[in-house]
A and B are shown apart, each in its own frame.
Chain A
Amino acid sequence: MFAPFILALRAAGVPASIMEYLALLRAMKEGIAGFSVDDFYHLSRAALVKDERHLDRFDRVFGEIFKGLEAPQGEAPRELPAEWLRKLAERVLTPEEMEQIKALGDFDALMETLKKRLEEQKGRHQGGSKWIGTAGTSPFGAHGYNPEGVRIGQENSRHRRAVKVWDQRQFRDLDEDEALSSRNMKVALRRLRRFARTGAATELDLPGTIGATARNGGSLDLHMVPERHNAVKVLLLMDIGGSMDDHIRICQELFTAARSEFKHLEFWYFHNCLYERVWRTNRRRRETERPTMELLRTYGPDWRLVIVGDATMSPYEIIQPGGSVEHWNEEAGQVWMGRATRHFRKAAWLNPVDPAHWRYTQSIGILQRLMDNRMYPLTLAGLETMARELAR
């Protein structure tokens, strides 16, 4: 009965299985939800969603399916910046209308009018003369102005009764690619730790041996366990200063998380790209500097190298000797990157810049290539992919 719903959920990336679907049907039969839509929403959520990160997606799919709306094509619906909407309003509404609204005063009113206007426009132009899309003003493609798609004013709607629970999308913050805290990061980084505990059975299991011997009625029965490889070794190199200032907070979180997760964690700073020197404390840079060569000698190939940086710089800083903005470097940044990635077989680059913008920055592409495509966004999903990749 709700098959399209389940399929839509799966398409949206909520891993609901047939088992959960059957559970939902049984619960319906038991009359848990009664005849209220809200209860059905709560019930299906409890039955189908098992991870708070998926709650937001569930809300979106539920809204689409049970309102009979089509999903906007192209990019997923996203919050639009107020500034952008204001500009859009200026374009769509006549100056007189703008004046009137200004007299009314508030942003909500503006959005309300804008929404109505866009709906009218949509109705009037069904014939196919694409009204705004082809003019190239929209970053969302031809369907971008669909009011349902961009959710203009829905969150701010004054018609409170029209706002359904699932439309409020209270779980937005828990979606995977947003909200990162050091706690979340720890969970992601734990993937690395888990791997470290496997190995061949080489150690004597004392309690196991005693237990087995007792069970045997006193004759000796030796038991072995795998050695505890509780030591993933992580070498963390962090880009500091300059363009990284925008990302300080998230890097701090990552640092705290990594700190408490790994017993063997060494961290060093660099600026923009890896050159012949790294340092331990940014404030006392001169005193704590070390040659990168020494780093490669000190930490063996079994260390996992994690570089954190926005990789945003002039390409010369990577490919030219002497290209560094701070000092004269004899060898180009890419030579040092090559040395590091050859030495540390398990290496990854975490980039706090939104992956959607990566291709617009040439230096990101270059470093991505130097890292053999092992550059991951600094989001929960990115961290998890990285941890899986490094643990392999």
Chain B
Amino acid sequence: MARFKGTKEYVASRELEVAVNAAVALQRPLLVKGEPGTGKTVLAQEIAKALGYPLIEWHIKSTTKAQQGLYEYDAVSRLRDGQLGDPRVHDIANYIVRGKLWDAFEAEQPVVLLIDEIDKADIEFPNDLLLELDRMQFFVYETRKTVAARHRPVVIITSNNEKELPDAFLRRCFFHYIRFPDRETMERIVEAHYPDIRQDLLREALNVFFEIREVNELKKKPATSELLDWLKLLTIEDMPAEALRSSDAKTALPPLYGAMLKNEQDVHLFERLAFLARRRGG
């Protein structure tokens, strides 16, 4: 049985590896939560890569229905065909459109199925998928056929906690909460993405980054993806490390702050803090 381990590009903690392996071995869905920007979606891609399975992504929106993941009956085109006298109209199977779950179930080899941001959908959405995820099969009423999984797919579900998920659904999943990485892990993550970043720049940037995260009043704290964007900008601009050092993050806006502070209130907050610090200092 293939085991999941962190890859060169994706730094996985031991607890994440255990959770993934448990979910894979027991063939149960893995529910991943965590601050936005800590790599929940990327995780599925990495699991697929590590296990050597293809990845099927199902991105959920507020209008997504559970049924759309299974199949849809395209009644309107059947009506149109019926009026045009198309012979296809006699076979209802011609108007069944497969969903992502169907694709995952019927695949020739096991796949990784990502159900991304399940909390975006209606509150009943997870309940509607209970049986399908449990038995890995469903019934197509129109053709009276059962679609069963040839190989149980590895199901990864991410949630941003916008809605609470029903207990019955949770009971069927393994759960992992991606904690915000500490400094050491963060260094490894950055190195995995930008292997030849200047060390002095990285050190100073991380100082600034973690100081910003310590400001408690922030509406949206910058996360890993923001840090990576910011570092990329800094490298492109070829910012000297001293430019970061001179500015204590608590008292002044760091250069190119737009990559990290995404909220005008947060920017105001920093300006206010900077003003206070200047007054105190001056």
**Are A47 and B14 in contact (CB-based, < 8 A)?**
no
Of B79, B161, B167, the contact of A214 (CB 8 Å cutoff):
B79
Minimum Cβ distance to chain A for residue B77 (Å): 9
**Are B22 and A50 in contact (CB-based, < 8 A)?**
no
Of A42, A182, A187, A210, the contact of B162 (CB 8 Å cutoff):
A187
Report how many residues on chain B are interfacial, defined by Cβ distance under 8 Å.
37
A39 contact set on B, CB distance < 8 A = 14, 18
Asked if A49 is an interface residue, CB under 8 A from chain B, the answer is yes
Asked if A218 is an interface residue, CB under 8 A from chain B, the answer is yes
Distance in angstroms between the alpha carbons of A109 and B165 in the assembled complex: 46
Distance in angstroms between the alpha carbons of A271 and B54 in the assembled complex: 62
B 29-48 binary contact with A (CB < 8 Å = 1; else 0): 01101000000000000000
- A contacts with B: majority SS: helix
Distance in angstroms between the alpha carbons of A120 and B264 in the assembled complex: 56
Minimum Cβ distance to chain A for residue B235 (Å): 31
**Are A52 and B163 in contact (CB-based, < 8 A)?**
no
B 73-97 binary contact with A (CB < 8 Å = 1; else 0): 1011011001000000000000000
> Closest residue of chain B to A252, judged by CB?
B217
Of A33, A51, A215, the contact of B75 (CB 8 Å cutoff):
A215
**Are A187 and B161 in contact (CB-based, < 8 A)?**
yes
Distance in angstroms between the alpha carbons of A17 and B176 in the assembled complex: 17
Contacts A19-B171, A214-B79 given: A47-B22 contact, CB under 8 Å?
Answer: yes
Chain B interface: which of A23-31, A124-132, A145-153, A354-362? A23-31
**Are B25 and A170 in contact (CB-based, < 8 A)?**
no
**Are B22 and A211 in contact (CB-based, < 8 A)?**
no
**Are A211 and B161 in contact (CB-based, < 8 A)?**
no
- B contacts with A: majority SS: mixed
Distance in angstroms between the alpha carbons of A52 and B108 in the assembled complex: 36
Distance in angstroms between the alpha carbons of A50 and B73 in the assembled complex: 35
B28 contact set on A, CB distance < 8 A = 23
**Are A187 and B18 in contact (CB-based, < 8 A)?**
no
For chain B residues 217-235, which have a beta carbon within 8 Å of chain A?
A: 217, 219
Contacts A49-B175, A171-B177 given: A32-B161 contact, CB under 8 Å?
Answer: no
A 217-239 binary contact with B (CB < 8 Å = 1; else 0): 11000000000000000000000
Distance in angstroms between the alpha carbons of A89 and B263 in the assembled complex: 46
**Are B177 and A55 in contact (CB-based, < 8 A)?**
yes
Of A20, A46, A170, A249, the contact of B179 (CB 8 Å cutoff):
A170
**Are B174 and A47 in contact (CB-based, < 8 A)?**
yes
17 additional contacts (CB under 8 A) given A46-B22, A50-B31, A182-B219: A27-B26, A30-B26, A32-B21, A42-B14, A42-B18, A45-B175, A46-B18, A46-B175, A49-B175, A50-B167, A51-B175, A52-B177, A55-B177, A187-B161, A187-B164, A210-B76, A218-B79
Some 9 contacts from A to B, beta carbons below 8 A apart, are: A15-B167, A42-B19, A43-B22, A46-B176, A50-B175, A182-B219, A194-B123, A214-B76, A214-B79
